[in-house]
Amino acid sequence: MPVTVVVGGQFGSEGKGKVAYLLAKEMGATAAVRVGGPNSGHTVVTPDGESLVLRQLPTAAILPDTVCVLAAGSYVIPDLLLQEVEETSVTADRLIIDPHAVVITDADLRTEKTGLLRRDIGSTESGTGAAVIKRISRGFNVDLAENDKKLNRFVRPVSPFLRELIARNDRIVVEGTQGFGLSVLHSNYFPYVTSRDTTAAGFVCEAGLSPFDVDDIVLVLRAFPIRVGGNSGTLPNETTWDSVTRESDSETPIVEYTSVTKRVRRVARFDSEIVLRAITVNQPTRIVLNHIDYVDATCRRSDSLTERAERFIAQVEADINARVDFFGCGPATIQPRLFRRLQKTA
């Protein structure tokens, strides 16, 4: 059962990209599967210190040997994907796209940009929702990866490939997108959600794997949850970036922008309700808590936990009735101690 699934426990942007990359690196993953579509960006810091945002490829694309997989449940903008392939120097033998992955067309993009989704629910207007609607409508106007000439050299069935890896006990990391609070099925905040399920079970389904393949579910949280700017739905305990900056004693202003639309994110204090529901549905084996430097900026400067940060983590653990296994002290930095308990797969 050598499959790890990375899932967000709030409203996205919990740092899943960083976590998935480090897991793939530390566990020696043979393949990394990116599910969903380009409506969310995952940030990873390269060995050269460059911050890279990927909307299609898994963050393990920057590793030299990991095979990148876009499974049948994926939604692809070919030109965007090819741009990321060039940026990460991924060769054709390191990228597999399932024939049944759906291509997001210019018409899908126009459908969302001329609609009211951004005004009404804060949509990123990536075309993903429109492509999902076409797919479930089961019309003959759906563009599949197997019919797209730009993707042709990467296309082959994903499930047999992953099954071969599992038979060899090779580690696979499934990089989930967005967060539990945005699930179209399980969120309490419908219709202010995304166009698909965002649970570990949903990601495993999109990847073409069996639940029996999974032995590791990593729930990623952040100390201060966010939502995209605008009318994006309820955000319990909402606060301001000025308050976060002041209370953390940061020497520079703390503010975040969405990786896709570049809008200022909304921010809130930690709320246990959404996390408790995420734990109930996902049943994680490990929990990561990122952005501890937003609690105390000294954590990032000193690369260690302060007493204030330790108290915060202890309160989170009490509130969610679960242990925080790993923590992160920077929004895009790589913290090896975050995974000090990891063992490489034999």
Q: In what order do the strands lie in the sheet with 226-227?
A: 226-227, 266-268, 238-239
Q: When comparing pLDDT for 314 and 112, which is higher?
A: 314
Query: What pLDDT, on the 0 to 100 scale, is given for residue 51?
Result: 86
Q: Kindly give the pairing relationship between strand 31-34 and strand 226-227.
A: unpaired
Upstream peptide bond of 78 is cis (omega within 30 degrees of 0): no
For residue 346, pLDDT beyond 70? no
Q: Which amino acid is at 155?
A: V
Instruction: Read off the pLDDT of residues 245-291 as tens digits, 9 standing for 90 and up.
Output: 999 999 999 999 876 677 899 999 999 999 999 999 999 999 999 99
- Mean local confidence (pLDDT), 136-151: 90
Query: What pLDDT, on the 0 to 100 scale, is given for residue 242?
Result: 95
| Gap between the Cα atoms of 173 and 23, Å rounded | 8
**With a threshold of 0.85, does the pTM exceed it?**
yes
Instruction: Read off the pLDDT of residues 312-324 as tens digits, 9 standing for 90 and up.
Output: 999 999 999 999 9
Match 């999974």 to its residue by tokens.
214
Instruction: Read off the pLDDT of residues 15-34 as tens digits, 9 standing for 90 and up.
Output: 999 999 999 999 999 999 99
| Gap between the Cα atoms of 343 and 28, Å rounded | 10
Q: Kindly give the pairing relationship between strand 3-8 and strand 286-290.
A: unpaired
In this structure, which topology does domain 3-339 adopt according to CATH? Adenylosuccinate Synthetase; Chain A, domain 1 (3.40.440)
Q: How confident is the model at residue 118 (pLDDT cuts 50, 70, 90)?
A: low
Query: What pLDDT, on the 0 to 100 scale, is given for residue 344?
Result: 41
- Which residues, in sequence order, are bridge partners of residue 50? none
| Gap between the Cα atoms of 171 and 163, Å rounded | 11
Q: How confident is the model at residue 123 (pLDDT cuts 50, 70, 90)?
A: low
